[in-house]
Chain A
Amino acid sequence: MTARTVLRNEWRLLMADRALRIVLGLFAALLVYALANGVVWLRFQERTVEAVESGNGERTSALQQELDAIANGGQPSSPFADPRSPLVLGGPSGSHTAALEPGSLTALAVGQSDLLPYYYDVNIYTNESSFQQNGEVENPLNLMVGRFDLAFVVVYLLPLLVLALSFNVLSEEREQGTLALTLSQPVSARSVVAAKLAFRAFLVVGMVLAMSLLGVLATGGFDSPGRVLLWCAAVVTYSLFWFVLAAWVNTLRRSSAWNATVLVGAWLVLVVVLPAAINIAAGLLHPLPSRVEMITAQRDASNDAVNRRSELLARYLEDHPEMAEGVVADEPGLGALAWAATDAVNRRLEEVTSEHDARRADQIVLVRRYRFLSPALLAQDVLIDAAGTGDARFAHFQSQVRAFAEQWREFFVPAILADEQMTASVLPNVPKFRLADEEPGDATRRAAVPLTVLGGLVLLVGMGAGVGLGRVRGAD
């Protein structure tokens, strides 16, 4: 009996089972729906990014027009919004929106991209508290539930399909009495089960990968082949884990019903209970510091700063001689005084934030260790990171926005301090945000450990199954 015979036989058997045909059809339909959902979300993000970027252009050209008009003897539209003032040109009305292009595989995994901000308005008043705002106006209920995307289908539903296809891969033969018959042929139980599972794996993984690649193709995600490969690797490894688990349970020589119960139990524990329990445990053992503290620190700082503006300005000029060109410290303009106060508040906020962020980073390192308790958590982590919708890419974006805000200040603050007026000629030189996206290797590097652990798990359980199958005799 060759592997081909097994495969052909399997195909016939699977297709003869009406329930299984329905389940496979349903799974395919869910895959299509999940992908469609992801594409809708991707398009929405793309449209938003496009809109905020064209908003940048519109603001600039409106300022350009107004500045030109003023240069030709016109009046500013409002005495409080004179674009010649660097506080206005570099302030909210002249702000530049820094946006993060959606990750190349966003259509496959929405991940954290519905929760974390992907654009910030940057102006001279951008500070740490700006990163706290910028919440989307999304329905909180939808955020809580999460999206129905391919990553969800892969992490939650795919294991159930795998288990439905293979919980009785060996036990059924035993129950129907065909095991002795099969093993009387010159073939080992190991190769029979391997062939059967390989066929099923080919079917299931093939469906998911085909749908993923279709999604990538439709949304132009092939720009980063590394991410696509990473995604595929995670899908394959995670599916294999469930296949070898089913094979191993089958070698325990129990009934099909027992296998089904145990495997569904394993799914429940690894995919539903453990991650939820870990979240509780992590919250208890490593509570994240409250953000409330930050908000009040800002108020304290701004109270204090307004009263000591002149003193702060003097100190500022001492600390930033490069910004101080042409500033007469004896009779500073109102703008310079206000800026000194703003800067003092920003510094205080940065202190509190960096303290807070350091504590938070420590906690997150600890919390992330718990990932290794559940293959579902590992898989989810790699999948969304590969898609470019994980926490890491957003943190990278935020740090770039922070640097850009600094660049923005460096451009406008000297003029504020010197109480200078600006003209249309500076507009082309105003800093523009250019995202230096993560290197393709970054995600791969982060995924290396979880993916290796997942692969190791597959090998371990697979070897256990192999050993168990080696002991199977037809007379069992």
Chain B
Amino acid sequence: MNWVGANLDLVVELTLTHARLSIVPILVGFVVAVPLGVFAWRFRWARGVTLTVVGLLYTIPSLALFVLLPPIIGISFLSELNVTIALSIYAVALMTRSATEALESVDPAVRGAANAMGYSGWGRFWAVDLPLAGPVLLAGLRVVSVSTVSLVTVGVLVGSRNLGYLFMNGLQRGIVAEIATGIVMTVLIAVAFDLLLALVGRLAMPWTQGAGGGRRSRRVARRIALTEGPT
């Protein structure tokens, strides 16, 4: 506790930077992956290729990606962009799979009913498919958010300044409290983001509270919350 008191400014500064570094990949993940997911869902031929590529991407260990990415895209090895882009790649990879599964979790009978009511093509997509895919999309986004916040810490090894700094500095100086502070703050950011996303989900999809929402989409959402995650 003494350590925290003496270094409060540093902890606050690193926490804010850490949160800032996490936001861009999470947003990019959502914005890029939903169209990709739609693409994989609409065109059967695209599904296999897309899902295989994203599956391979998040097989890559994070530190290896941080090292391999700069020469591939031609940026400086220590650039802050490096960590942002690498984590965006993971976010997109993870979210594309969730988005595809989200759209597939929509009950075909509902889709049939929408067709029967005269919806077609994109009209049906915006009014029926996308809202009903919402709960699974949200489950995917929450996984992306938590894992991104945690993965940012590895960036310290390639020069990114974030809460991971407390881990390496604490290790060198032998201060357990410093590392513990880093872990606690990382988890707190993850929890704060998670609660925020849950709240946004609730506001955007009021029908998911209580008994609403399909059984099937709830099952898929739970499976994503259980099993997905980059390394």
Same assembly: no
B interface residue numbers (CB < 8 A to A) = none
A interface residue numbers (CB < 8 A to B) = none
